[in-house]
Amino acid sequence: MDMPLPARRMPEQPWTDGEVIDRVLAGDVPLFELLMRRHNERVYRAVRSILRDETEAEDAMQAAYLHAYAHLREFESRAAFATWLTRIAIHEALGRRRRNLKRVTDEEVDVPSEDRSPEQVAVDAEHRKLLEAAIDELPEHFRTVFVLREVQQLSVEETAQVLEIVPQTVKTRLHRARKLLRANLVASLPRALPFEATRCDRVVAAVLPKIIDGNLS
């Protein structure tokens, strides 16, 4: 006889993924939102490591969640739900990659914080772009392992399960990804410290009057 599902759960006792799945399958469909919010970051990073495009990554996430919901009864608790879901997302991203769908890149907008100058924010943004570009230049099978292990911080075993490869392959690909990433970053160093226009204006404004006045001290 099936045990009745709990009607509610105290805040200090969050539902496990399995409990949420049971409730969704029992008819509480809106509760699927909890699964999405709980795993959004992991799914995004896995998909983004393959597609390298913000808009298409979000489309792939949506498709992966729809697929996961449609096949939720097929989920077997022998593996973690997060692993099962991430594998679906990766397969969706790889499928889109193979079909060569049109990519549309959304430009990031950085909002300066109160305690950082516009120049500091610009430099930080430039450094992030350089790192993202260096990661994007990695071959796909290295890039995905790197993101899952170093960014998402999955274990070797979890990464192997998600990608359906053996743990030793995960270790080998991560090692090679790190070497390639270092090489990519070294190659991008000449662009690493941009000299912003506002900084240029400030230096000129401070120096030029002194030169004109002959005040070189």
Domain-located, residue 12: no
Q: For position 68, which CATH number holds?
A: 1.10.1740.10
Are residues 49 and 61 in contact, defined by beta-carbon separation less than 8 angstroms?
A: no
Is 86 inside any structural domain?
A: yes
Rounded-to-integer distance, Cα 89 and Cα 56, Å: 12
pTM: 0.53
The last residue of a domain, from among 63, 98, 133: 98
Q: Token pair of 57, please?
A: 């990554």
Among 71-75, 120-124, 136-140, 167-171, the least confident range? 120-124
Q: If we measure between CA atoms, which residue out of 47, 129, 127 comes closest to residue 95?
A: 47
Same domain, 92 and 32: yes
Give the tens place of pLDDT for each residue, 61-106: 999 999 999 899 999 877 789 989 998 998 888 888 766 433 333 3
Whether the per-residue pLDDT at 199 is higher than 80: the answer is no
Residues 90 and 29 in one domain: yes
Strands (E), 23-169: none
What's the average model confidence in pLDDT over 193-210?
A: 58
The last residue of one of the domains, among 98, 128, 156, is 98
Q: How many domains does the chain have?
A: 2
Domain's final residue, options 98, 133, 161: 98
Say if residue 37 is in the same domain as residue 69: yes
Range of the domain at 35: 17-98
Per the prediction, the chain carries an average pLDDT of 75
